[in-house]
């Protein structure tokens, strides 16, 4: 039995010609169709918007422990020392 492609809905938008040209150039640069490029960009934006609204519910004790860790002084360790010794990318010559 042949596999059937999942059903897809249509989304119509109005767009300025210069914006469409830019999208087409970007899609071409990535080797994608305009539709795939727009869907990828819209999906990423949607995920980001929804993740920004994610709420974590924790017990009072867990929240207090979280705040205590944020307020605690940093304990020096080798990874921290190595990071502080490493030049920033913009300072490297």
Q: What mean pLDDT do residues 53-81 have?
A: 92
Q: What's the rounded Cα separation, in Å, for the pair 41 and 35?
A: 10
Q: Specify which of 6-15, 24-33, 69-78 reaches the highest per-range mean pLDDT.
A: 24-33
Q: What is the pLDDT of residue 66?
A: 95
22 has a pLDDT exceeding 90: yes
Q: What is the pLDDT of residue 76?
A: 84
Q: What is the pLDDT of residue 45?
A: 96
- pLDDT band for position 1 (cuts 50, 70, 90): low
Decide if 26 contacts 37 (C-beta within 8 A). yes
Q: What is the pLDDT of residues 24-51, one digit of tens each?
A: 999 999 999 999 999 999 999 999 999 9
Q: Enter the pTM of the model.
A: 0.55
Q: What's the rounded Cα separation, in Å, for the pair 58 and 25?
A: 46
Please provide the size of the chain in residues. 93
């Amino acid at each position: 039995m042949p596999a059937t492609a999942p059903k897809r809905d249509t989304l119509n938008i109005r767009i300025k010609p210069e914006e469409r040209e830019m999208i087409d150039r970007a899609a071409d640069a990535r080797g994608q169709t305009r539709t795939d490029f727009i869907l990828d960009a819209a999906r990423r934006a949607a995920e980001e918007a929804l993740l920004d609204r994610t709420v974590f519910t924790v017990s009072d004790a867990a929240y207090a422990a979280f705040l205590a860790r944020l307020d605690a002084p940093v304990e020096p360790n080798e990874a921290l020392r190595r990071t502080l010794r490493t030049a920033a990318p913009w300072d490297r010559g």
